[in-house]
Amino acid sequence: MLEILADLKNTHHRRVLGALEILKYIGPGLVVTMGFIDPGNWASNLAAGSTFGYALLWMITLSTLMLIILQHNVAHLGIVTGLCLSEAAHKHLPAALANPLLGSAMCASVSTSLAEILGGALALQMLFNVPIRAGAVLVTALVLYLLLSNNYRRLERWIIGFVSLIGIAFIYELKIAPVDWAAAGAGLVTPAFPPGAALVAMSVLGAVVMPHNLFLHSEIIQSRQWNLEDAAVMRKQLKFEFADTLLSMVVGWAINSAIIIMAAATFYRSGTPVGELRQAGEMLAPLLGHISSKVFAVALLFSGIAAGVTSGMAGGSIFSGIHGEPLNLDDSHSRLGMAISLVAGLIVVFFISNPLKGLIYSQMALSVQLPFTIFLQVYLTSSKKVMGAYANGRWTVFLLSVIGLAVSWLNLKLLFNLF
């Protein structure tokens, strides 16, 4: 009997250790998640919820499912090869093709940084009445400080903390908002296209699937150098990576959904469509109370700072990859890439008179570049020369290609409609 009890105890102990072991691999996905709950997403989600209520919630569900597959696939590239997407392009493509592709990705990183800096500046204006340009300088300086004074693990912890605070802020907003949970639940799983919703629906999708996040995920995961381990360890990492990606993308799905639900329960219910982030914060006060507008602004500030860190990291990764190197916070190429992404984004802010248009133009730039990144990823992860035995199978290639074509078509259609 004692032996049986001891065996049961050991079995339970092993299961607990197995469950706790997953926690060691949580982090890369949450860093990436911050990239798709950035101020650009806030603008798209607020427009969706305030104009169409709960009807476009399903677009968050659909785009997150697409994102899980794409991010999971690009993470495999980093685990199997020990190379990020940028390094792999440099190594396996002719320079005449790789350099223009990576150059366009660098421009996309600048565009993303523009949105994050602008969102953080708007938050500072809402909280402390700081002028947009001065706020943009402050946000950029803080993001550069976080990037240049911390290592990977510290940055992961900072960003996980920011994601947690944003989540808590929206839990508070939803708690006091008059949400119709039955309608929200139906909206999450029921496709619908209200009249005039096509443009907003596509902007919601385009704000979730972003090129810099694909580069960033492969970079963060490859930094752990699982490719140097044996096959059994590699398979284990691939399994745990999916758990990390799935958990992290679900967190992003929940926060993006919460923004639409909050907008539907307040602005749509009161018949007041929202066109700007600052307008949303100001309008929350009479609807939900003064503290709600402050909570909204604080969450937006955290979003801008944390997403700025991820866009800076992506810029550093892309620029280092152009030189055939991994991201290294102490390396000159990495630091220059981060500085280019953030400082160039800051400079553009100084020429923007309308913050909302600035966010729209940043999403347009991402829409143009996104197809190139997706199909670069599909090519590399489907190549046996690059991935060996872990190359995509036919079904995976087909699924990725369909997603790539769908996302690219919708993003380009959004771009054309904006003109």
For 64-80, the pLDDT digits (tens) are: 999 999 999 999 898 88
The answer to whether the CB of 52 falls within 8 A of the CB of 268 is yes
49: nearest Cα among 41, 57, 39: 57
- Give the integer Cα–Cα distance in Å for 306 and 120: 10
- Give the integer Cα–Cα distance in Å for 269 and 250: 27
How many alpha carbons lie under 13 Å from residue 307 in its C-beta half-sphere? 36
Length of the chain as a residue count = 419
pLDDT range class, residue 353, cuts 50, 70, 90: confident
Q: Is the pLDDT of residue 305 over 60?
A: yes
- Give the integer Cα–Cα distance in Å for 85 and 209: 16
The answer to whether the CB of 373 falls within 8 A of the CB of 112 is no
Q: Ramachandran region of residue 370, left (φ > 0), alpha (ψ -120 to 50) or beta?
A: alpha
Mean pLDDT calculated for residue range 225-248: 73
Mean pLDDT calculated for residue range 204-221: 87
How many alpha carbons lie under 13 Å from residue 177 in its C-beta half-sphere? 28
Q: What are the sequence ranges of the domains in the chain?
A: 37-418
What kind of fold does domain 37-418 have according to CATH? Amino acid/polyamine transporter I (1.20.1740)
Residue 19 has a pLDDT of 42
| DSSP letter string, 145-177 | HHHHS--HHHHHHHHHHHHHHHHHHHHHHHHHS
Question: Based on the number of CB atoms within 10 Å of its own CB, is 181 exposed (0-12), middle (13-18) or buried (19 or more)?
Answer: exposed
Mean pLDDT calculated for residue range 9-19: 40
Q: Is the pLDDT of residue 188 over 90?
A: yes
pLDDT range class, residue 22, cuts 50, 70, 90: very low
pTM of the model as a whole? 0.87
> Among 72-86, 87-101, 332-346, 359-373, whose mean pLDDT is lowest?
359-373
User: Is pLDDT larger for residue 284 or for residue 163?
Assistant: 163
Q: Averaging pLDDT over each range in 200-214, 222-236, 325-339, which range is the top one?
A: 325-339
Residue 232 has a pLDDT of 67
- Give the integer Cα–Cα distance in Å for 98 and 103: 8
The answer to whether the CB of 270 falls within 8 A of the CB of 287 is yes
The answer to whether the CB of 73 falls within 8 A of the CB of 307 is no
413: CB partners within 8 A, 6+ apart: 202
The answer to whether the CB of 298 falls within 8 A of the CB of 33 is no
pLDDT range class, residue 339, cuts 50, 70, 90: very high
The answer to whether the CB of 314 falls within 8 A of the CB of 212 is yes
pLDDT range class, residue 203, cuts 50, 70, 90: confident
Residue with tokens 């997603």: 403
- Give the integer Cα–Cα distance in Å for 302 and 39: 10
CA dihedral in degrees (403, 404, 410, 413; nearest 10)? -160
Mean pLDDT of the chain: 85
The answer to whether the CB of 370 falls within 8 A of the CB of 408 is yes
- Give the model confidence (pLDDT) of 101-143 as tens digits: 999 999 999 999 999 999 999 999 999 999 999 999 999 999 9
